[in-house]
Structure 1
């Protein structure tokens, strides 16, 4: 008797799921693709590159100086006084580089997040408009796999271009 009840319950769930699925419309948007391909996102990337170019160049110069010091320290015929001086400079340079690189990374990520928040907000607003206009019940932004026929990313990219 219990087997029959479980079987009927499973059958009822299957039938009700199929009936609900007939009226259910959903879509998907790839947020990373929006951040990569949308014109406003590309403009933000260029803006950030310009804004942080000086600091990035300073870090590259520090890297080049560290390579020079490393090569200098690698020479066997370096006098002890010069070796000691180069080692002190290398230690200081390493400390400064790590601090500046960490600060650069934190500042860049903060600015990137600030700028991309506006793109995300605009994309979400467009998604809500698409959902209302085309009567979507659910739109997902992150998923492991979605069939391309449900992908709304091209529509959002097209709207962001306007």
Structure 2
């Protein structure tokens, strides 16, 4: 392992020495950065997708909330009445509660899976539109590279506002 790094280091130094003059002689590279999270939060298409999802899933979410509340009420009632019930009644009501809870958990899991799948579909469409707009901005303003993920970006390279404005202007 050490031998490999000792061999690679001189090669990297030689390569960078050869490339440095070529890069200096080349035209200045124009870089840009797009914050995808901001696009998902601020672009009208993303807001419309979120609203569409809320409308599509609001009834199921309300039904689940109601079902959870009914289950909690039934469970509380069972807790209060359990000491006065016969053994068979207690076992029967306990089984009913377990069945209701299992059904509730299954429906909640299915709801979450369906919501996540639809959210991914909608966000993918927003991302595809955003990427088309990013390409348009890059071509119009002659960017060489547009980055979407980075640990640190100088704010002067951030073109997210331009992309959001272009996305919001596009139909």
Query: Is 1:77 aligned with 2:83?
Result: yes
| TM-score between both structures, scaled by the size of structure 2 | 0.78
Secondary structure class of the residue paired with 2:68: helix
Decide whether aligned partners of structure 1 residues 135 and 83 sit closer, same or farther in structure 2, where only a CA change above 3 A counts. Answer: same
Q: Is the 8 A contact 1:38 1:157 kept in 2?
A: yes
Structural mapping, 1:25-104, within 5 Å? 25-75=30-80, 77-79=83-85, 80-104=87-111
The answer to which of 39-48 and 73-82 deviates more is 73-82
CA-to-aligned-CA distance 1:28-62 (integer Å, 9 cap, x gap)? 11111111111111111111111111111111012
Secondary structure class of the residue paired with 2:162: helix
Decide whether aligned partners of structure 1 residues 23 and 104 sit closer, same or farther in structure 2, where only a CA change above 3 A counts. Answer: same
The answer to which of 50-59 and 15-24 deviates more is 15-24
| TM-score between both structures, scaled by the size of structure 1 | 0.82
Unpaired runs of at least 5, structure 1: 1-5
What is the CA distance between 1:21 and its match in structure 2? 8.4
Unpaired runs of at least 5, structure 2: 1-9
What is the CA distance between 1:18 and its match in structure 2? 6.4
Count matched residues: 156
Secondary structure class of the residue paired with 2:98: helix
What is the CA distance between 1:70 and its match in structure 2? 2.8
Structure 2: how far apart are the matches of 1:33 and 1:110? 21
Structure 2: how far apart are the matches of 1:20 and 1:63? 68
CA-based RMSD: 2.4
Structure 2: how far apart are the matches of 1:159 and 1:138? 18
